[in-house]
Structure 1
Amino acid sequence: MEMDTDAGNDVAGRAFDYDLFVIGGGSGGVRASRMSASHGAKVALVELPYHPISSETHGGLGGTCVLRGCVPKKILVYGSGFSHEFQDAKGFGWEIDGEIRFNWKKLIQNKTKEIERLNGVYKRMLVNAGVTLFEGFGRIVDKHTVEVKDVDGQTKTFTTNHILIATGGKAVKLNIPGQELGITSDEGLSLEEFPKKVLIIGGGYIAVEFAGIYSGMGADVHLCYRKSLPLAGFDTEMAEVVARNLEARGIKCHKHTNIVKLESHYLGIKATTDTNEEYHVDQVMFATGREPKTANLNLEGVGVELDEAGAIKVNEYSQTSIPSIWAVGDVTNRINLTPVALMEGTCFAKTVFLKEPTKPDYENVAHAVFCQPPLSSVGLTEDQVKANHGGIRGEFKIFTSSFNPMKNTVSGRQEKTMMKLIVHGATDKVMGAMMCGPDAPEIIQGLAVALKCGATKAQFDATVGIHPTAAEEFVTMRTMTRQIPKGVRDVYLRESRACRTSMSSLSKL
Structure 2
Amino acid sequence: MIFSKSYCPHSQRVKELFASLGVDYNILELDQVDDGANVQEMLLEITNQKTVPNIFVNKVHVGGCDRIFQAHQNGLLQKLLQEDSVHDYDLIIIGGGSGGLSCAKEAAILGKKVMVLDFVVPSPHGASWGLGGTCVNVGCIPKKLMHQAALLGQALSDSRKFGWEYSQQVKHNWETMTQAIQSHIGSLNWGYRLSLREKGVTYVNSYGEFVEPHKIKATNKKGQETYHTASKFVIATGERPRYLGIPGDKEYCITSDDLFSLSYCPGKTLVVGASYVALECAGFLAGFGLDVTVMVRSILLRGFDQEMAEKVGAYMEKHGVKFIRKFVPVAIQQLEKGSPGKLKVLAKSTEGPETIEGVYNTCDYTNVPTTVFTPLEYGCCGLSEERAVEVYKKENMEVYHTLFWPLEWTVAGRENNACYAKIICNKCDHDRIIGLHVLGPNAGEITQGFAAAMKCGLTKQLLSDTIGIHPTCGEVFTTLEITKSSGLDITQKGC
The structural deviation recorded for 1:73 is: 1.1
Residue 49 to residue 409, structure 1, CA distance change in 2 (3 Å):
closer
Q: 2:270 corresponds to which letter in structure 1?
A: L
Report the CA distance between 1:214 and its aligned residue: 0.9
Letter in 1 for 2:321: I
User: Aligned pair 1:171/2:173, yes or no?
Assistant: no
Choose the corresponding residue for 1:156, options 226, 244, 256. 226
Q: Aligned pair in 2 of structure 1 residues 309, 223: CA closer, same or farther (>3 Å)? A: closer
Query: Alpha-carbon deviation of 1:84?
Result: 1.0
Instruction: Determine the structure 2 residue equivalent to 1:131.
Output: 201
Q: Does 1:24 align with 2:25?
A: no
Q: 2: distance between equivalents of 1:173 and 1:159?
A: 34
1:433 corresponds to which of 409, 432, 436: 436
**Which amino acid in the other structure matches residue 329 of structure 2?**
I
Deviation per CA, 1:204-257, whole angstroms, max 9, x where unpaired?
111111111111111011111012x42121101101110111011111112112
Instruction: Specify the code of the residue in structure 2 equivalent to 1:272.
Output: L
Q: C-alpha separation between the residues in 2 aligned to 1:376 and 1:93?
A: 31
Q: Equivalent residue of 1:199, what SS?
A: strand
Residue 172 (structure 2) aligns with: 102
Matches for 1:211-250 after TM superposition, within 5 Å: 211-227=282-298, 229-250=299-320
Give the drift of 1:403.
Answer: 1.7
Mapping of residues 28-427 of structure 1, within 5 Å: 28-48=99-119, 58-179=128-249, 180-227=251-298, 229-266=299-336, 268-274=342-348, 333-335=361-363, 362-388=365-391, 395-414=396-415, 416-427=418-429
Secondary structure in 1 matching 2:323: strand
* Cα distance in structure 1, aligned partners of 2:124 and 2:187: 17
Runs of 4+ more than 4 Å apart: 53-59, 308-311, 391-394
**Under a length normalisation based on structure 1, what TM-score does the superposition of the two structures give?**
0.73
* Alignment check: 8 A CA contact 2:215 2:229 kept: yes
Contact kept, 8 Å, 1:23 with 1:29, in 2: the verdict is yes
| Map of 2:479 onto structure 1 | 476
The answer to whether the Cα contact below 8 Å between 2:125 and 2:258 also exists between their aligned partners in 1 is no
Amino acid at match of 1:419: A
Conserved 8 A contact 1:50-1:59: no
TM-score (norm 2): 0.75
1:396 and 1:483 in contact (8 A); partners too: no
- The CA distance in 1 between the partners of 2:483 and 2:128, in whole Å, is 53
**Secondary structure, in 3 states, of the residue corresponding to 2:277?**
helix
SS class of match (1:171): coil
Task: Report how far residue 36 of structure 1 moved.
Answer: 0.8
Q: Is the 8 A contact 2:366 2:383 kept in 1?
A: no
SS of corresponding position for 2:264: coil
Separation (CA, whole Å) in 1 of partners of 2:322 and 2:127: 37
Structure-1 separation of matches of 2:486 and 2:226: 63
Rounded to whole Å, the distance in 2 between the matches of 1:142 and 1:57 is: 31
Q: 1:24 touches 1:45 (CA, 8 Å); kept in 2?
A: yes
Displacement of 1:195 in angstroms is 2.6
Partners in 1 of 2:276 and 2:409 — Cα distance?
Answer: 25
Structure 1 residues 362 and 240, CA gap change in structure 2 (3 angstroms): closer
Identity %: 35
1:451 is matched with which residue?
454
Unaligned runs of 5+ in 2: 1-83, 351-355, 488-495
CA contact (8 A) 2:119 2:207 kept: yes
Return the alpha-carbon distance in structure 2 between the equivalents of residues 242 and 57 of structure 1. 30
Q: RMSD between aligned alpha carbons? A: 2.5
Distance (whole Å) between structure 2 residues aligned to residue 393 and residue 263 of structure 1: 49
Task: Report the AA paired with residue 68 of structure 1.
Answer: V
Tell me which amino acid in the other structure corresponds to 2:347.
T
CA contact (8 A) 1:47 1:137 kept: yes
Deviations 1:139-185 (A, max 9, x none): 12334222212233232222211100011100111111221211101
Per-residue deviation at 1:54? Answer: 8.7
SS of equivalent to 1:270: strand
Aligned-partner Cα distance in 2 for 1:275–1:158 = 51
The yes-or-no answer on 1:466 pairing with 2:442 is no
Which whole-Å CA distance do the structure 2 matches of 1:269 and 1:310 have between them?
29
- 2:206 aligned partner, one-letter code: G
How much does 1:387 deviate? 2.8
Aligned length: 392
Relative contact order, higher structure (CA 8 A, sep 6+): 1
Q: Deviations over 1:408-448 (max 9, x none)?
A: 22111115211110100011211110111001010000011
Residues 25, 468 of structure 1: alpha-carbon distance in 2 compared, 3 angstrom cutoff: same
Q: CA deviation at 1:191?
A: 1.8
Q: Which has the higher helix share?
A: 2
Distance 2:208 2:125 in 1: 14
> Deviation digits for residues 336-366 of structure 1, max 9, x if unmatched?
xxxxxxxxxxxxxxxxxxxxxxxxx854111
Opposite residue 412 of structure 1, the aligned amino acid is G
Unaligned runs of 5+ in 1: 1-12, 277-288, 290-307, 312-332, 336-360, 485-509
User: What is the CA-CA distance between 1:470 and the residue it aligns to?
Assistant: 1.0
